[in-house]
């Protein structure tokens, strides 16, 4: 059997977008992912659905896997012919023990690549508005471990030299030793007034920054109960934060927002939340796909055979548009065969999806629900006309029913079907329990039902109870009603049932919670 290959990859400091392009490519192509706590679980969404995921970090019922065991695991997997990615927090060469992993691979004749990552030593200060070097304030920086026992620190760190290096000192793994570290620096000649910052969980929603001086920082850390992981920055650059702090000022900073959408649709909502400083937590609960049965295809083929006869094509969602065109393509049908039809689109996104395919909707209802489509259609429809309604299998019945009542022959075709995504994210129950999810967004009734079902499948016995302290944001009244019926307490419903409206409502809620 061919030997596999191992990619030793830096995942970045926590924000899943801070992985390199090369690292992401390796992740997408690997058969097995070996990862731990500092490499965020969200990155795994990029892995192939069938890729094996092996967590080697700490679990409540198990100790962290020993380094030697991890080294051997990588060898064993590669010897089975697998492409393996070892994801490590930050950069693998900065206190990442990549040397030991690579060494054993090399001894076993296994190919490996080391793909650097953005180390927390620079990224975490940057997210707190602290550049590690500065033209006037620091012309060098040192990255130092604080992890060793004090005796060993004395042996492996030349405190006299470190202390008097010209520039910024960055300590990793130093929270527990902050009193010892500051003591040493003062003892060897740094001024007790030297500014110090600790940044906990940098680049994540939990990011928290504490600023002090060498003299008082240890007490402040104790008083604040600040726990690892944190980066400690010592030097004048810390003051830069007063003007350069950036992400911490964004309206959704500190909020981890679980986005439950169909995988193919989440991108816009995710981008907006990200832009506003929130941390998105993608949890796809719905997948759409082409209907699988021969009957479904036949029904669509028959409808398309009469393309020339329709007076209206009414599209009620972006999915509807996309799958409608997918079927046209599959049956090799030219859209111009619908030459007689006017196009109606419910909602601006649906209209946009049509527009990029060269069709400007003839009718755009004022509000985004099927009921208002009917109102605006009323003056344009006349009995005896025919309308084609390409939609999903879960579409509501209102529209076709009322069209029929108005004497319109409405032909519905299920151009896509909705299925529950298999939950692959095993962390969510723990995160919910630990209060690490602050907001959940629901953009349709099926996202509500499916999230609750996904949680049950992940072993959460009473999902509504597990979500009781979380802000529940629903895109509109229909979704909100479903949520309430399922025992959730809905706290956010925008006036306008659009992604923009939803995002605005999230910001308003956050502002009022902060008393702004
Ligand atoms: N290879 C990693 C460092 C591993 S040592 C890197 O390059 O970043 C682990 C230490 O890194 C932690 O104790 C903490 O000091 C620091 N660290 C990693 N991620 C962090 C984060 N998101 N916020 C604060 N500190 C972090």
Name the token pair of 376: 């605006």
Which atom of ligand 1 has the smallest separation from the CA of 202? 23
Q: Which two tokens stand for residue 169?
A: 């000192």
Q: Does domain 122-248 have CATH number 3.30.950.10?
A: yes
What Rg do the C-alpha atoms of the chain give, in angstroms? 28
**Model's pTM, two decimal places?**
0.81
Give 118-146 pLDDT, tens digit per residue.
999 999 999 999 999 999 999 999 999 98
Question: What CATH class is the domain 5-118?
Answer: alpha beta
Q: Using a 6 Å cutoff on CB, does residue 173 contact ligand 1?
A: yes
Distance in angstroms (rounded) separating the CA atoms of residues 104 and 84: 14
Which token pair is 128?
């707190």
In the prediction, which pLDDT does 279 show? 96
Q: Which of 15, 31, 36, 425 is catalytic?
A: 36
Compute the distance from residue 168 Cα to the ligand 1 centre, in Å. 17
Backbone φ and ψ of 33, nearest 5°: -120, 120
Clarify whether 173 is annotated catalytic.
Answer: yes
Return averaged pLDDT per consecutive 10 residues of the chain, 516 residues in all.
91 95 97 85 86 82 81 96 96 93 96 98 98 95 80 71 88 94 95 97 96 98 95 98 97 96 72 96 86 93 96 92 96 96 89 95 71 74 91 78 88 90 79 95 91 92 95 95 97 93 96 86
pLDDT attached to residue 369: 60
* The two domains 122-248 and 256-285+421-513 share their CATH topology (first three levels equal): no
Tell me if 319 sits within 8 A of 417, measured CB to CB.
no
Tens-place pLDDT, residues 473-512: 999 999 999 999 999 999 999 999 888 999 999 999 999 9
Residues 4-35: tens digit of each pLDDT:
999 999 999 999 999 999 999 999 999 999 99
Per-residue model confidence (pLDDT) at position 59 = 65
The reply to whether ligand 1 has any atom less than 6 angstroms from the CB of 233 is no
Give helix 499-513 / helix 267-275 axis angle, nearest 10°.
30
Residue 9 CA to ligand 1 center (angstroms) comes to 15
Q: What are the extents of the domains in the chain?
A: 5-118, 122-248, 256-285+421-513, 294-420
Is ligand 1 within 6 A of the CB of residue 95? yes
Q: At 383, phi and psi to the nearest 5?
A: -50, 145
CB 461: neighbour CB atoms within 10 A?
8
368 lines ligand 1 (CB under 6 A): no
CATH topology of domain 256-285+421-513: Rossmann fold (3.40.50)
Peptide bond into 318 cis (omega under 30): no
Ligand 1 and 124: CB distance under 6 A: yes
d(CA 212, CA 216): 6
- The CATH number assigned to the domain with range 294-420 reads 3.40.50.10090
Nearest C-alpha to atom 9 of ligand 1 is from which residue? Answer: 173
Question: How long is the chain?
Answer: 516
Tell which one of 16, 120, 221 to mutate to probe ligand 1, the residue whose CB is within 8 A of the most ligand atoms.
Answer: 120
pLDDT at 216: 98
Residue 202 corresponds to which tokens in the numbers above?
A: 């940098």
- Give all strands of the β-sheet with 52-55 in edge-to-edge order: 52-55, 32-35, 83-88, 5-10, 111-115
Q: Is 154 a catalytic residue?
A: no
Alpha-carbon distance 410 to 108, whole Å?
67
Instruction: Round to whole Å and give the CA distance between 512 and 516.
Output: 6
Identify which of 295, 293, 270, 273 has the alpha carbon closest to the alpha carbon of residue 282: 270
- What residues form DSSP beta bridges with 55? 35
Give CA separation, 89 vs 10, 115, 118, 130, 186, in Å: 6, 12, 9, 20, 31
Distance 90 CA to ligand 1 centre (A): 6
Catalytic-residue membership of 17: no
pLDDT score for 151: 57
């Amino acid at each position: 059997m061919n030997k596999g290959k191992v990619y030793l990859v830096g995942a970045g400091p926590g924000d899943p977008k801070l992985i390199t392009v090369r690292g992401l490519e390796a992740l997408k192509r690997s058969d097995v992912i070996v990862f731990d706590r500092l490499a965020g679980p969200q990155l795994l969404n990029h892995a192939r659905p069938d890729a094996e995921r092996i967590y080697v970090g700490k679990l409540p019922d198990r100790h962290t896997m020993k380094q030697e065991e991890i080294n051997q695991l990588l060898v064993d997997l590669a010897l089975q012919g697998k492409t393996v990615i070892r994801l490590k927090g930050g950069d693998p060469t900065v206190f990442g023990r990549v040397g030991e992993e690579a060494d054993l691979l090399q001894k076993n004749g296994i190919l490996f690549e080391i793909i650097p990552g953005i180390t927390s030593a620079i990224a975490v200060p940057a997210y707190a508005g602290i550049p590690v070097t500065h033209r006037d304030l620091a012309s060098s920086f040192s990255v130092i471990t604080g992890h060793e026992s004090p005796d060993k620190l004395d042996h492996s760190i030349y405190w006299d030299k470190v202390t008097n290096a010209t520039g910024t000192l960055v300590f990793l793994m130093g929270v527990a030793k902050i009193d010892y570290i500051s003591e040493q620096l003062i003892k060897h000649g740094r001024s007790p007034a030297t500014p110090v910052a600790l940044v906990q969980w940098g680049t994540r929603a939990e990011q928290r920054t504490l600023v002090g001086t060498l003299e008082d920082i240890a007490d402040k850390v104790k008083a604040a109960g600040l726990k690892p992981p944190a980066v400690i920055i010592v030097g004048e650059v810390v003051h830069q934060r007063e003007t350069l702090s950036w992400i911490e000022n964004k309206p959704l900073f500190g909020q981890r927002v679980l986005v439950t959408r169909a995988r193919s649709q989440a991108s816009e909502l995710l981008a907006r939340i990200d832009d506003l400083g929130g941390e998105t937590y993608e949890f796809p609960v719905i997948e759409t796909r082409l209907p699988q049965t021969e009957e479904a295809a036949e029904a669509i083929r028959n409808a398309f055979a009469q393309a020339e006869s329709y007076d209206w094509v009414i599209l009620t969602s972006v999915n509807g548009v996309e799958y409608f065109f997918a079927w046209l393509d599959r049956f090799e049908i030219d859209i111009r065969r619908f030459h007689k039809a006017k196009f109606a689109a419910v909602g601006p996104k649906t209209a946009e999806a049509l527009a990029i395919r060269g069709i400007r909707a003839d009718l755009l209802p004022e509000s985004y629900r099927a009921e208002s489509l009917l109102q605006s259609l009323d003056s344009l429809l006349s009995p005896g006309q025919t309308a084609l309604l390409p939609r999903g299998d879960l579409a509501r019945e209102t529209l076709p029913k009322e069209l029929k009542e108005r004497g319109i022959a409405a032909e519905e075709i299920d151009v896509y079907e909705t299925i529950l995504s298999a939950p692959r994210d095993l962390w969510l129950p723990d995160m919910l329990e630990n209060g690490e999810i602050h907001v959940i967004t629901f953009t349709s009734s099926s996202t509500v039902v499916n999230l609750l079902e996904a949680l049950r499948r992940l072993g959460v016995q009473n999902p509504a109870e597990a979500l009781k302290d979380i802000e529940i944001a629903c895109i509109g009244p229909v979704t909100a009603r479903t949520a309430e019926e399922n025992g959730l307490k809905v706290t956010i419903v925008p006036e306008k049932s659009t992604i923009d409206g939803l995002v605005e409502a999230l910001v308003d809620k956050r502002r009022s919670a902060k008393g702004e």
